[in-house]
Structure 1
Amino acid sequence: MSAHVEEIRLNLPHIELAAHLYGPEDGQPVIALHGWLDNAASFARLAPRLPGLRIVALDFAGHGHSAHRAPGAGYLLWDYALDVLLVAEQLGWDRFALLGHSMGAIVSVMLAGAMPDRVSRLALIDGLMPYTGEADQAPTKLGEALLAQLALAAKRKPVYAAIDRAVEARMKGVGAVSREAAELLAQRGLMPVAGGYTWRTDSRLTLPSPLRLTRAHALAFARSLKCPALLVLAEHGLLQTEPKFVELLDGLPLDVRRLPGKHHLHLDDEAGAQAVADCFNPFFAAP
């Protein structure tokens, strides 16, 4: 399924972000947020199936065609949340919905929990809370992160002789995807270099986090949600492997739908995209 999509640039005070724009100008405002190491093409199959919405599908900073953060800066979840809020400010959207997949869903929950007056509803795909770390692990984890940053200058991105090789690598990456999904992500995510192609993503995105929220912190954001929230879970997605995740859902203020498919069920094939759309269309149409 195809629909008109416009490429736009958003000049924030500290960085320039790229995005795909879908839907009518008077549509319900929605900011769509992709997963880690993906890009705006993550919504290429789903967005055209959500009529009546004005969807701005961002390339997060360091991903796709968006700029990389300045030297010395990092890619923490709350930095992404600020970027999203600044995008809404630039668009003139006082209130807006968030459509998030994986890491994009995590950022969505954090922003909605922190700024309940700004977020009208949450549509989440196989993502909810970040990986957590308890206080006693913090010194060790920070040490590992600092060493990784020191070693980054000596690391080199992989170079693929042909686009097909990059597509095959992405199919086997974190949250393995179908070939068609990998091709869509590669169209936006690859750039030519000497010897072939490499990913546009900032190498710093693969660094370990210097600080993680505790489980109590992460749950506090999810429990603070005030807007309507719907989580679509993939039967073979990443969240199903999290220990005690199902028990956590019982006490959270959101509706949950389970669908066949893997972590990228909204992108892997047309049937998956339609199934996700069939969940979200009534949700967005509700008063």
Structure 2
Amino acid sequence: MTLDEPQEITLTCQDGVKLAGRRWIRKNGNEKETRVLCLHGWMDNCFTFNRLADGLLKKIPLSTDLDIVALDFPGHGLSSHKSLDGPSVVLADLVYYMYDALQSLNWETANLTVVGHSMGSSVALLFAAAFPLGKLIMLDSLGPQTKPADEISKSVRAHIKARIRGKPPSSVYPDLDTAIETRCLTATVFPGNQYISRETAKALVERASIIREDGQLEFLHDQRLKWPSLLVLTDAQLDQLYMDVASHPTETCLLTAQDGMPFPPDSISRIRELLQPKVVESLPGSHHFHADPDTADAVVDTIVSFIS
């Protein structure tokens, strides 16, 4: 049984949050099956993995059955928002939703492949430190952002002040083209020489927006995602996460984009030493190199080689 088109799925978590997503299934009765969970970045959604999932289906041999799930995190894409009186949106919460989703799918972690992009990579790393995975693939991310210990109190203060001010208004644009152009422009604001293709921006915008009665486009994002992080890790804590994952049988793969996040060389050296990834590659493209049409194939080929 092969399903050529992805299925829309909804997983209901124990706290009532509904996680939307897409699922690609290829089952031909083979003994070997590869299960892949894909986790997107901040303010993105599961459509960032459309091209990657299609590529895996085409390039992983038919002798292997495939089950690929890409989720929208809470407050992203078509997933529901957390309640107003619920806990703050923090990275650790997303680890819980990842765990809850796997329970709903009835997927065990030991043989699971997880592909995380940007923030999704941070979530996957935190999860893998606590629950060993089969394979962990990190796309243009070295894990959670860190700060010096003496700056953590500033992060708490900034978050509390933002929370007291309340949720920012939703972003509204006169039409789809304007929203796409803005998304493309936003990518160039981030560090390095970042960009995003119009095709990828269009997919992300369409997944995360609605057309209002007045004809304007409104984003569905939970605007609380724009609040500063409540808590961040120190370098020492991140190092410990690397070592925890390395102590498990989890095989890791680190792929960075040549025009993506400008990671300091010492940070790359540290993750090589402590996480001990089996594969480390710098590939052409920018932060969304796995989604952009001109660069996705190289990412797919590297992942297929790693997981096959």
Q: Which runs of 5+ in 1 are unaligned?
A: none
**Partner residue, 2:204:** 185
Residues 1:163 and 2:164 are matched in the alignment: no
Conservation of the 8 A alpha-carbon contact between 2:46 and 2:70: yes
Any residues of structure 2 matched to 1:1-287 within 5 Å, and which?
3-14=4-15, 15-25=17-27, 27-51=33-57, 52-72=65-85, 73-95=87-109, 96-116=112-132, 119-153=133-167, 155-174=168-187, 176-193=195-212, 194=214, 196-225=216-245, 226=248, 227-238=250-261, 240-242=262-264, 244-251=266-273, 252-254=275-277, 255-269=279-293, 271-285=294-308
Conservation of the 8 A alpha-carbon contact between 1:40 and 1:57: yes
Conservation of the 8 A alpha-carbon contact between 2:55 and 2:300: yes
Offset at residue 199 of structure 1 (A): 1.2
Distance 1:151 1:138, change over 3 A: same
**Higher mean displacement: 47-56 or 63-72:** 47-56
Distance in 2 (CA, whole Å) between partners of 1:28 and 1:243 is 33
**Higher mean displacement: 50-59 or 273-282:** 50-59
Distance in 2 (CA, whole Å) between partners of 1:243 and 1:212 is 21
Question: Residue deviations 1:178-229, cap 9 Å, x none?
Answer: 1111011111011123450121110000100111111111121122222011
Distance in 1 (CA, whole Å) between partners of 2:37 and 2:272 is 27
Conservation of the 8 A alpha-carbon contact between 2:170 and 2:221: no
Distance in 2 (CA, whole Å) between partners of 1:140 and 1:263 is 28
Letter of the 2:200 counterpart = A
Conservation of the 8 A alpha-carbon contact between 1:110 and 1:222: no
Letter of the 1:7 counterpart = E
Conservation of the 8 A alpha-carbon contact between 2:41 and 2:118: yes
Distance in 1 (CA, whole Å) between partners of 2:51 and 2:118 is 16
Distance in 2 (CA, whole Å) between partners of 1:169 and 1:114 is 38
Distance 1:12 1:215, change over 3 A: same
Give SS of 1:29's match: strand
Distance in 1 (CA, whole Å) between partners of 2:268 and 2:9 is 39
Conservation of the 8 A alpha-carbon contact between 2:142 and 2:271: no
Offset at residue 3 of structure 1 (A): 4.6
Calculate the TM-score normalised by the size of structure 2.
Answer: 0.86
Question: Residue deviations 1:49-86, cap 9 Å, x none?
Answer: 11343111000111000000111322211111111111
**Higher mean displacement: 87-96 or 160-169:** 87-96
Offset at residue 143 of structure 1 (A): 1.2
**Higher mean displacement: 166-175 or 225-234:** 166-175
Give SS of 1:244's match: helix
Letter of the 1:125 counterpart = L
Letter of the 1:139 counterpart = S
Percent identical pairs in the alignment equals 32
Distance in 1 (CA, whole Å) between partners of 2:88 and 2:264 is 26
Letter of the 2:284 counterpart = P
Give SS of 1:156's match: coil
Give SS of 1:75's match: coil
**Higher mean displacement: 174-183 or 198-207:** 174-183
Letter of the 1:217 counterpart = Q
Give SS of 1:67's match: coil
Give SS of 2:69's match: strand
